Amino acid sequence: MNYRRSERVADVIKEEVASMILHGEIKDPRIGFVTITRVELTPDLKDAKVFFSQIGSAEDKAKSRNGLNNASGFVRRALAKRLDLRHIPNVSFVFDDSLEYADHIEKVIKEMKGGGGH
């Protein structure tokens, strides 16, 4: 499978899912204010992991993840209508903790620079 094709399909899926959330097409009260950060597709394009970020407690993030995964069938059907693909991938949602991790690393580096006399 062409790597560039899977990258293009992932980008299109990201934009479409973000649009669905932005326009309130996914109606689940558990879903908070989330941002779609990236999509990872398997090489055969059969499965898509949609990563999202959200500010809030671990409980809020879990609720959003559960709400989004509950809506995965709706999302897949909507993608089938919007995209010209032979096969629409199965969609699952995963919390993207990379922003929190980067923030943590930045704080650790600042602490190390500030504590240089130790």
Percentage of residues of the chain with pLDDT beyond 90: 67
d(CA 1, CA 107): 41
Q: For residue 79, is pLDDT > 70? A: yes
What residue segments make up the domains of the chain, in order of their start?
3-114
Q: Specify the DSSP element, H or E, that contains 115.
A: none
Provide the pLDDT for residue 115. 62
- Can you tell me the mean pLDDT for 47-70? 95
Matching CATH number, 3-114, of 3.30.300.20, 3.30.2270.10, 3.40.50.720, 3.40.1410.10: 3.30.300.20
What token pair was written down for 88? 């629409």
Per-residue model confidence as pLDDT tens digits over 1-24: 556 888 999 999 999 999 999 999
pTM (2 d.p.): 0.81
Integer angstrom CA distances of residue 109 from 23, 79, 88, 106, 117: 39, 42, 43, 5, 14
The mean-pLDDT minimum among 1-5, 77-81, 85-89 falls in 1-5
Task: Tell me how far apart the alpha carbons of residues 9 and 26 are, in angstroms, rounded to a whole number.
Answer: 21
Inform me whether the pLDDT recorded for 69 exceeds 60: yes
- Kindly calculate the radius of gyration of the chain based on its CA atoms and give it in whole angstroms: 17
Q: Is 94 helix (H, G, I), strand (E, B) or coil?
A: strand
Q: Encoding tokens for residue 64?
A: 């959003």
User: Residue 27: exposed, middle, or buried by beta-carbon count in 10 A (0-12, 13-18, 19+)?
Assistant: exposed
- For residue 41, list its beta bridge partners: 48
